[in-house]
């Protein structure tokens, strides 16, 4: 039976110093951020996910965005090498957590850079965004790590947003969803549904018809309801001010052997 565990990481007290690249910096309310993070974690738990807190990395402002530090494929945890130098110290605690859960561990090495937000898995197809944080060597290393395990790695140019998954994610049936103005090459995806809001392109699949998504995409939530899905909405405004989205606040571990 597939495991339903999810890694999460408590926000750093220095969250407000987190990186911003494609948007204007706005003041982050650190207390509200903690409340929003707790509600996000609760939403995962309510829908059957056992959440595992990675030890906090208080000196790393962006450490709450745990998705960027590791990519899971089957039982293998590929520890990233963030393209943002200020994020490199985040990976040690995550490596410890996944090793403790019985994953096989592999690594992205210099000169490769790769962040988990650039990796979208749909079945055995692994799309990887080549953009500001993931370089060509990182793409090659990802391919070398996962193709022998049965993955087909497809690289996708990303220039308008931080990560591939800032632009696209996928519905449970594999349909890719995205906000076209933020995509470089929409035609790369064979089955594609455009959504009306940028943050509507981010969903976390909770199981069955349930889609975890941000409160900032109400029109997209209506569209998904109309298509027979059940949106589970969380307010993550303080993380959105730092270019975060629902996907980046957790890493789901669905194929652990242990």
Ligand X SMILES: NC(=O)NCCC[C@H](N)C(=O)O
> Under the rule (CB under 6 A), what is the footprint of ligand X?
18-19, 21, 62, 65, 67-68, 84, 87, 117, 162-163, 165-166, 242-245, 248
Q: Which two tokens stand for residue 177?
A: 């969803």
The backbone torsions φ and ψ at residue 257, rounded to the nearest 5 degrees and listed phi first, read -80, -30
Nearest distance, CB of residue 15 and ligand X, angstroms = 9
Nearer to ligand X, 112 or 131 (CB): 131
Considering the candidates 60, 103, 163, 202, report the single residue annotated as catalytic.
Answer: 163
Output the six-digit token pair for 155.
């690289």
Shortest Å distance, C-beta 1 to ligand X: 28
Q: Which two tokens stand for residue 12?
A: 């750093």
Q: What gap in Å lies between CA 137 and CA 112, rounded to an integer?
A: 4
We find the least distance from the C-beta atom of residue 107 to ligand X, in angstroms, to be 19
Give how far Cα 6 sits from Cα of 40, 135, 256, Å.
12, 27, 11
Q: Which residue is nearest to ligand X (CB)?
A: 117
CB 86 to ligand X: min, Å: 8
How far is Cα 23 from Cα 16, in angstroms, rounded to an integer? Answer: 14
Shortest distance, position 61 Cβ to ligand X, whole Å: 8
Query: Any catalytic annotation for residue 22?
Result: no
Is 220 within 8 Å of 197 (Cβ atoms)?
Answer: yes
Q: Which two tokens stand for residue 54?
A: 């990675």
In the complex with ligand X, which residue's Cβ is closer, 238 or 243?
243
Q: Residue 146 or residue 240: which is nearer to ligand X going by CB?
A: 240
DSSP state of 229: -
**Annotated catalytic residue, options 60, 103, 245, 248:** 248
- Could you tell me where the DSSP H helices lie in 118-256? 136-146, 164-167, 218-226, 237-240
Considering the complex, state which of residue 26 and residue 222 has its C-beta at the smaller distance from ligand X.
Answer: 26
User: Phi-psi bin for 150: left (phi > 0), alpha (psi -120 to 50), beta?
Assistant: left
With respect to ligand X, which residue has the nearer C-beta, 21 or 125?
A: 21
103 catalytic, yes or no? no
Catalogue the active-site residues: 163, 248
């Amino acid at each position: 039976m597939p495991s339903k565990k999810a890694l999460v990481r408590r926000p750093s007290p220095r969250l407000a110093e987190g990186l911003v690249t494609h948007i204007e910096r706005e003041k982050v309310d650190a207390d509200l951020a903690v409340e929003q993070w707790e509600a996000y974690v609760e939403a995962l738990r309510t829908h059957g996910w056992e959440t595992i807190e990675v030890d906090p990395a208080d000196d790393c402002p962006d450490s709450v965005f745990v998705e960027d530090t590791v990519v899971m494929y089957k039982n293998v945890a590929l520890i990233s090498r963030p393209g943002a130098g200020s994020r490199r110290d985040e990976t040690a605690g995550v490596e410890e957590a996944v090793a403790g859960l019985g994953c096989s561990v592999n690594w992205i090495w210099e000169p490769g850079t790769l962040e988990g937000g650039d990796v979208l898995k749909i079945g055995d197809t692994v799309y990887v965004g080549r953009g500001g944080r993931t370089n060509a060597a990182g793409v090659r290393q990802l391919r070398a790590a996962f193709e022998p395990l049965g993955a087909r790695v497809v690289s996708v140019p990303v220039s308008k947003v931080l990560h591939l998954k800032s632009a696209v994610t996928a519905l449970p049936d594999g349909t890719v969803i995205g906000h076209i103005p933020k995509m470089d090459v929409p035609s790369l995806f064979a089955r594609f549904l455009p959504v009306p809001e940028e943050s509507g392109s981010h969903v976390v699949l909770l199981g069955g018809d349930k889609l975890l998504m941000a409160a900032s995409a109400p029109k997209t939530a209506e569209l998904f309801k109309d298509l027979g899905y059940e949106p589970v909405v969380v307010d993550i405004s303080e993380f959105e001010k730092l270019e975060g989205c629902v996907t980046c606040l957790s890493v789901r571990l669905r194929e652990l052997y242990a």
